[in-house]
A = this chain, B = another copy of it.
Amino acid sequence: MSESRSAGTVRRPALRDVAREAGVSEGAVSKVIRNAYGVSPAMRARVEQAIDKLGYRPRTAARAMRGRSFTLGFETPHIGNDLHTLVIEGAAEQLDGSPYQLVIVPGMGRLGAKEILDALVDRQVDGIIAIASEVETEWIEKLARHTPVVILGRHDQSERFDTIINDDVAGTDLVMDHLLGLGHTRIAHLTISSPSAMTPHVFRQTTYVQRMEAAGLSPVVTQARASERGAYEAAVGLLSGPERPTAIFAGHDSLAIGVLRAVADAGLDASEVSVVGYDNIELARHPLVSLTTVDQCGDEAGRVAIQLLMERIEGRTVARHECFTPTLCVRRSSGPAPS
């Protein structure tokens, strides 16, 4: 009765069972599975044989109680965001072969960043990669006091956690160089509301305004709800206005996709309204979409995020802040200004 619980349920072997099977102490088994000092080849062989026989695997929970959980957490407001997918891809690649495991807790529009981060802390992850754009800096600093944290796309540099950002000023400059070079003068910018002044969207918007004014043009900024549909509705408004823009720079690709839909619905195309996005999501590459956009190599960001976390886990205490330089991908959604 001590070998099984309820009907059809079996107890997974524990370290104790392996020790009994091999006829050695639990400590010895622990040493073997951790590759610790002080085990003879003979002992190692016996223990490994017992492990194989029983199909033993150490429980993460028990290990976590004594230190590491070998788990890293990723917080994202919503999976299905292509940029984040790319980041996760890079992170997974960097983690390949290591004993650490990446787990993702998705907000899906119902859980706030704080709730997710708390859930990760409750599970004693050894490190956290987060977006967390809506969370105050102090809150994250408190979090970082006990768990290594890397924040993506946040422009404020704290001493207590690492950040990885894309150079949004340079990226926006690429877009504006492109559009101005094509002769556009009525360029509108579509953005979303930001919880803080330190988000990428604010930097893109600010740079857009500066460039417009520097070129002697009047900036037009429109706020949309943060979705393809929100962008669609905002774009419909822009296109039906008196002074129709000849180019629309959207804060990111999902918004740009919505803009493209509005352009198509209005019976227009790229020869009349150029559309440019930001992020270079998979869809932007598709020939039916062919969206001009800014690539910010999310996979590289994912790889670096893991590296930074590992450094923290191994003892680094001074913050590091990485910045990537984006590139422009010119496609068919943008063209010369109509004459």
Measuring CB to CB, which residues of chain A are less than 8 angstroms from any residue of chain B?
Answer: 7-12, 57-62, 64-65, 69, 71, 79-80, 82, 85, 88-89, 92-93, 96, 101-106, 108, 110-111, 118-119, 121-124, 145-146, 160, 257, 260-261, 264-265, 282-283, 286-289, 317
Contact = CB atoms under 8 A, between A and B. Distances in A.
A65 B61 contact: yes
Nearest to A63: B61
A265 B283 contact: no
A81 B89 CA distance: 13
A90 to B, nearest CB: 9
Given A88-B79, A286-B261, A287-B265, A110 B93 contact: yes
B101 A104 contact: no
A265 B288 CA distance: 10
Given A8-B317, A264-B287, A103 B101 contact: no
A278 B177 CA distance: 41
Given A57-B118, A102-B106, A288 B317 contact: no
A122 B9 contact: no
A11 B147 CA distance: 10
21 contacts: A8-B317, A10-B145, A12-B121, A12-B146, A57-B121, A59-B64, A59-B65, A60-B61, A60-B124, A79-B85, A79-B88, A79-B104, A80-B80, A80-B82, A80-B282, A88-B108, A92-B111, A260-B288, A261-B286, A265-B287, A289-B289
A119 B104 contact: no
Given A65-B65, A288-B288, A108 B92 contact: yes
A106 B123 contact: no
A227 to B, nearest CB: 11
Given A8-B317, A105-B103, A96 B110 contact: yes
B61 A124 contact: yes
Contacts of A102: 105-106
B8 A145 contact: yes
Contact of A71 (B89, B123, B289): B123
A33 to B, nearest CB: 12
Nearest to A160: B8
A161 B111 CA distance: 29
Contact of A62 (B65, B89, B265): B65
A175 B23 CA distance: 63
